């Protein structure tokens, strides 16, 4: 589909010379030069001091020394398998690093033969990508590790750039699957991929979900106890971790030191717009990242969800990127259905409408954004009184309280968070089925970011905007105190947003045009094109839910854990028959139990799309289960038995 095709273009920023990393991973083995062979690859990670020490040692008389322990195993593997299997290469890399470390303390263990062999392995690993990656390599990791069959738009181009040793800027809207673009290279490249992210609160979840897939990931940040930190650093130096997450602030201090001696193969910079003083989230510490690229001589992958041309150029310059490939993903998210409802025009109040919408989606995760803290609290309370598991979230709450709400939402213990814009940065929950704006957001960027929290698993989700001119007036009042230029800018942004809300053509088309993208009318992903009236639908579904609840009370149907099921709207892409619904709910309950046992967020186990597919296809064997999108071998071994038991019932 044309609308899905990412636009690829080259940026001319950065230096044009192919300086630092012409050696090593950038050099295609088919055109290997003499400089490659002159390269002392075994020693490539060592400092000059260690370098000279090795030289002096290797000229010393060599006894017919016993080989270092475990050396033969590596030697055999290298002799037997040069197929380029990424797992084999990763294990070579781990063992090579081990022997490098050993060599520094006990050089007498290494015969000349051993050193020659290790150099050959290091060279084979460095010669890397061009030789070993078959065209299908990224796709096969996607299938085998993640259990998915297809890349989302833009992902594959970015991955190919990264494993090809090329710098790349990936502009991927929220929910487009940014993290996969460095996770797959991390597996293919071997060594360690360094991921810099400002979102410390997300690191644990990211690492947990990597672990559940079977990628070896860890993080270094200020929350770690010293002993834990030391052990992670040791693991990094021994080549145990494929991915390490760190905050750019940490790099200034001890993380920079911690990376000493680590075999970094790729640096991924998440939320890269923070590097640009043109961006709205500028962070000075991001400015030090340029030194990192020089230090490790590896490709840099800069990822961001929001970047104008100016910001993109700034990212390229600030990171010292070398003729990067720029991949722009599409801003069109066709699984989000957009509606806008002007407040005051309906007979029902906004509050009642929101209740109907939430009742019709009972048991599903939703976020309701309000302008004021007071409104979040009163709305949450109103919903609770009507039987919706809802909690408020705003910046005026104690951090501890806020974390509690966030955790309960993440773990599916509550269905709805009623929040101010303060909510969202630290949450990465894939099964949010709806986002409601009780009040109009202050800008189109804000609106896009907030609705972007729905449907990250790719399943259909509803985004419902309530708006009025009174909202515009509220923002104007709030902006009054700022400096002149700021006030003017904010007033303009609010009015742009109001115009979008009032727009009478395709909403998706109008929304992405704000980001410079042109698409045809969506046809089905906005209320204008689809003709869906979400309020009318919800009123109907909500009354069915209420009726069924009454019937349930009469029949005393046993429930499992409390938050009983509800029929979903057919247009939500949720299970469509009653049987399927029941099974889907049972699968969700099982997911919650397993997640609680392992202290993970529920969506880390499997996302809604995966459970939905299980409910409709009902796999009965391990093989059939592996066919389901989102089920990889690691997850099969962790959860397959429990899910099959349930499915076979």
* Binding stretches for Zn ion (CB under 5 A): 506, 508, 522, 526, 529
Q: Find the shortest distance in angstroms from Cβ 516 to Zn ion.
A: 18
Query: Closest by alpha carbon to 476, among 497, 505, 448?
Result: 497
Instruction: With beta carbons less than 8 A apart as the criterion, state whether 357 and 407 touch.
Output: no
Rounded to a whole number of angstroms, the minimum distance from the CB of residue 354 to Zn ion is 23
**Nearest distance, CB of residue 5 and Zn ion, angstroms:** 19
Select 259 or 336, whichever has its Cβ closest to Zn ion: 336
Q: Toward Zn ion, which CB reaches closer, 146 or 332?
A: 332
Q: How far is the CB of 528 from Zn ion (least distance, A)?
A: 5
Q: In whole angstroms, how close is the CB of 529 to Zn ion at the nearest point?
A: 3
Q: What distance in Å separates the CA atoms of residue 220 and residue 258, rounded to the nearest whole number?
A: 9
**Helix, strand, coil % (nearest 5) of the chain?**
55, 10, 35
The 3-state DSSP class for residue 467 equals strand
Q: Is the sign of the CA dihedral 594, 596, 598, 602 positive or negative?
A: positive
Cα 639 to the chain's mean position, in Å?
Answer: 22
The distance of closest approach from Cβ of residue 338 to Zn ion in the complex, given in angstroms and rounded to an integer, is 8
Residue closer to Zn ion by CB (options 357, 529) is 529
Give the list of residues 6+ apart from residue 490 with CB closer than 8 angstroms, or none: 442, 475, 479, 482
Nearest-approach distance from CB 523 to Zn ion, in angstroms: 6
Which one, 166 or 507, has the nearer CB to Zn ion? 507
What SS3 class is residue 478?
A: helix
CB of 507 to Zn ion, least distance (A): 6
Instruction: Closer to Zn ion by CB, 414 or 506: give it.
Output: 506
Closest alpha carbon to 115 in 54, 191, 70: 54
Query: How far separated are the first and last CA of the chain, in Å rounded?
Result: 40
Instruction: Rank residues 32 and 532 by Cβ distance to Zn ion and give the closer one.
Output: 532
**Is the Cβ of residue 259 or residue 522 nearer to Zn ion in the bound state?**
522
- What's the min distance (Å) between Cβ of 374 and Zn ion? 34
Report d(CA 485, CA 479) in Å as an integer.
11
Question: Which residue's CB is nearer to Zn ion, number 392 or number 529?
Answer: 529
Is residue 240 within 8 A of residue 211, CB to CB? The reply is no
Instruction: Please say whether the beta carbons of 8 and 170 come within 8 A.
Output: no
- Which CB sits closer to Zn ion, 66 or 531? 531
Helix (H) or strand (E) holding 342: strand 336-342
* Closer of 482 and 523 to Zn ion (Cβ): 523
Residue 213, Cβ neighbours under 10 Å: how many? 19
Q: Which two tokens stand for residue 283?
A: 């962070």
CA gap 548, 387 in Å, rounded: 14
Q: Are strands 365-369 and 432-437 parallel, antiparallel or unpaired?
A: parallel
* Minimum distance, C-beta of residue 510 to Zn ion, in the bound complex (Å): 9
CA-to-CA dists, residue 436 to 441, 461, 465, angstroms: 11, 11, 6
Give the nearest distance from C-beta 521 to Zn ion in angstroms: 5
Using CB atoms within 10 A of its CB, is residue 289 exposed (0-12), middle (13-18) or buried (19+)?
buried
Cβ 447 to Zn ion shortest distance, Å: 16
Please report how close the Cβ of residue 524 comes to Zn ion at its closest, in angstroms: 7
Nearer to Zn ion, 474 or 513 (CB): 513
Measured CA to CA, the distance from residue 167 to residue 321 in angstroms comes to: 6
CB of 500 to Zn ion, least distance (A): 13
- In the complex, what is the shortest distance from the CB of residue 509 to Zn ion, in angstroms, rounded to a whole number? 6
Q: Which helix (H) or strand (E) holds 614?
A: helix 608-617
Question: Residue 444 or 506: which CB sits closer to Zn ion?
Answer: 506
- Looking at the Cβ atoms of 54 and 339, the one nearer to Zn ion is 339
DSSP string, 84-112: --HHHHHHHHHHHHHHHHHHHH-GGG--H
* Rounded Cα gap, residues 229 and 222, in angstroms: 9
Contact 430, 366 (CB under 8 A): no
Which of 591, 562, 607 minimizes the C-alpha distance to 432? 607
| Nearer to Zn ion among residue 148 and residue 434 (C-beta) | 434
Give the nearer residue to Zn ion in terms of CB position, either 272 or 435.
435
SS3 assignment, position 465: strand
Q: What is the distance between the alpha carbons of residues 42 and 24, in angstroms, rounded to a whole number? A: 12
Q: What's the closest the beta carbon of residue 527 comes to Zn ion, in angstroms?
A: 8
- Residue 403 burial (CB count, 10 A): 13
Radius of gyration, CA atoms only, the chain: 27
Among 429, 451, 437, 455, CA closest to 573: 455
Give 462 or 581: the residue with its C-beta nearer to Zn ion. 462
Rounded distance between C-alpha atoms, residue 379 and residue 364, angstroms: 18
């Amino acid at each position: 589909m044309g609308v899905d095709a990412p636009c690829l273009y080259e940026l001319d920023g950065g230096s044009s010379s192919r300086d630092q990393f012409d050696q090593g991973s950038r050099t295609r083995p088919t055109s290997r030069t003499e400089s490659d062979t002159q390269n002392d690859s075994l020693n490539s990670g060592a400092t000059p001091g260690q370098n000279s020490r090795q030289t002096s040692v290797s000229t010393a008389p060599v006894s017919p020394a016993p080989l270092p322990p475990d050396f033969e195993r590596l030697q055999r593997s290298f002799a037997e398998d040069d197929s380029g299997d990424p797992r084999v290469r990763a294990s070579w890399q781990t063992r090579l690093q081990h022997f490098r470390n050993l060599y520094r303390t006990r050089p007498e263990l290494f015969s000349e033969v051993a050193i020659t062999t290790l150099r050959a392995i290091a060279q084979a690993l460095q010669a890397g990508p061009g030789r070993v990656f078959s065209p299908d390599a990224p796709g096969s990791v996607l299938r085998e590790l993640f259990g998915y069959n297809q890349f989302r738009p833009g992902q594959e181009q970015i991955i190919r750039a990264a494993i090809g040793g090329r710098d790349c800027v990936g502009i991927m809207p929220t929910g487009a699957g940014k993290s996969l673009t460095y996770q797959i290279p991390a597996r293919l490249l071997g060594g360690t991929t360094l991921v810099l992210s400002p979102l410390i609160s997300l690191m644990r979840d990211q690492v947990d979900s990597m672990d559940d897939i079977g990628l070896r990931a860890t993080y270094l940040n200020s929350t770690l106890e010293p002993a834990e930190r030391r052990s992670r650093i040791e693991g990094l130096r021994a080549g145990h971790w494929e991915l390490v997450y760190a905050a750019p602030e940490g790099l200034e201090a001890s993380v920079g030191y911690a990376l000493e001696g680590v075999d970094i193969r790729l640096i991924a910079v998440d939320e890269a717009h923070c590097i640009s003083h043109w961006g709205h989230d500028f962070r000075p510490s991001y400015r030090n990242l340029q030194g990192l690229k020089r230090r490790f001589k590896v490709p840099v992958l800069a990822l961001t969800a929001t970047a104008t041309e100016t910001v993109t150029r700034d990212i390229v310059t600030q990171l010292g990127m070398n003729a990067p490939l720029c991949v722009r993903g599409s801003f069109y998210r066709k699984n989000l259905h957009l509606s806008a409802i002007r407040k005051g025009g309906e007979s029902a109040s906004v509050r009642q409408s929101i209740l109907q919408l939430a009742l019709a989606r009972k048991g599903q995760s939703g976020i309701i954004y309000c302008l004021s803290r007071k409104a979040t609290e009163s709305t949450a309370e109103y919903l609770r009184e009507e039987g919706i598991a809802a909690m408020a979230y705003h910046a005026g709450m104690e951090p501890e309280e806020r974390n509690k709400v966030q955790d309960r939402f993440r773990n599916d213990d509550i269905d709805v968070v009623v929040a101010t814009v303060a909510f969202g940065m630290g949450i990465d929950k894939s099964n949010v089925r709806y986002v409601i704006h009780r009040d109009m957001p202050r800008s189109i960027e804000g609106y896009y970011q907030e609705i972007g929290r729905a449907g990250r698993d790719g399943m259909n989700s509803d985004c419902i905007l309530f708006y009025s001119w009174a909202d515009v007036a509220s923002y104007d009042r709030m902006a009054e105190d700022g400096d002149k230029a700021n006030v003017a800018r904010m007033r303009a942004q609010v009015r742009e947003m109001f115009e979008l809300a009032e727009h009478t053509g395709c909403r998706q088309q109008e929304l992405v045009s704000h980001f410079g993208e042109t698409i045809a009318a969506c046809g089905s992903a906005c209320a204008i094109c689809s003709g869906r009236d979400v309020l009318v639908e919800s009123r109907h579904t909500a009354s069915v839910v209420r009726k069924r609840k009454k019937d349930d009370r009469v029949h005393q149907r046993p429930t499992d854990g409390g938050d009983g099921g509800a029929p979903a709207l057919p247009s939500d892409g949720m299970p469509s028959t009653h049987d399927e619904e029941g099974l889907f709910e049972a699968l969700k309950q099982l997911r919650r139990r397993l997640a609680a046992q392992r202290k993970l967020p529920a969506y880390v186990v499997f996302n809604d799309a995966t459970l939905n597919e299980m409910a409709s296809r009902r796999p009965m064997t391990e093989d059939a289960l592996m066919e389901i999108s989102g089920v990889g071998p690691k997850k099969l071994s962790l959860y397959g038995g429990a899910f099959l038991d349930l499915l076979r019932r």
